[in-house]
Structure 1
Amino acid sequence: MGILKIGVVGCGRIGKLHINNLINSVPGVQVVAAADPMLDKSGAREWLAERKITNVSTDFMDVINNPEVDVVFVCSSTDTHCDVSRAAVQAGKHVFCEKPIDYDIDKIKKLLALVEEKGVKFQV
């Protein structure tokens, strides 16, 4: 197996933590894309560029639709976790989702049924 290519949605505190851990501590992976709606207002664009991540966007769908991305790390605000995860799973991407997935059990059950249907890996 080659390098596992990661796209990160959410470049705030926890997203940056995961990106640094992926870059510095996880062999066989490469962060190839990132998205955050506050990219330019938060300084995240520059922070990502310092780490040689230049495929960036304010629209999370750019990460999900990127054919290079194998796995989507969902590190956005909690209220977006389920919707971003659902979009990634629907696109056939594996997902690592920060906790909680959602506060609505029915939404979680529907997402997990989609994970099963699509046959992707889903980790929280």
Structure 2
Amino acid sequence: MPIAEIIHPGFSTADGEVTSISYDGSDVTLRFLDWREHQICVVFRDVTRFEWTDEPDDLFEGEPYDGTCVVRNSAWPPIVAESKWEHYRLNFNACGGRLDVACESFAMGTLP
């Protein structure tokens, strides 16, 4: 059974407003305004799957409605031998959406 583990990645999605999500064939770049109205850019590397959901109603045990977590025991990422993919969920309570990403890593990026 999937269980959400709350993480603190150095940014907050609480009260954030998503401005764009882009995919270049390998990486996903997420841009949003945080609760202070600061522009945040997060780059997800080696993405194998991602999905935006408006108004999700299927939170996992322990999953915050306004934060970021890694989903343990998730069947969502493809199963490939020796893969290092993790399933991340970023919940945006202000706009009522969620970004699910299966990727190898992510970090705050630079803003062009």
Q: TM-score normalised by the shorter chain: which range applies?
A: under 0.3
Would you tell me which structure has more helix in proportion to its own residues?
A: 1
TM-score (norm 2): 0.24
Q: What is the TM-score of this pair, normalised by structure 1? A: 0.22
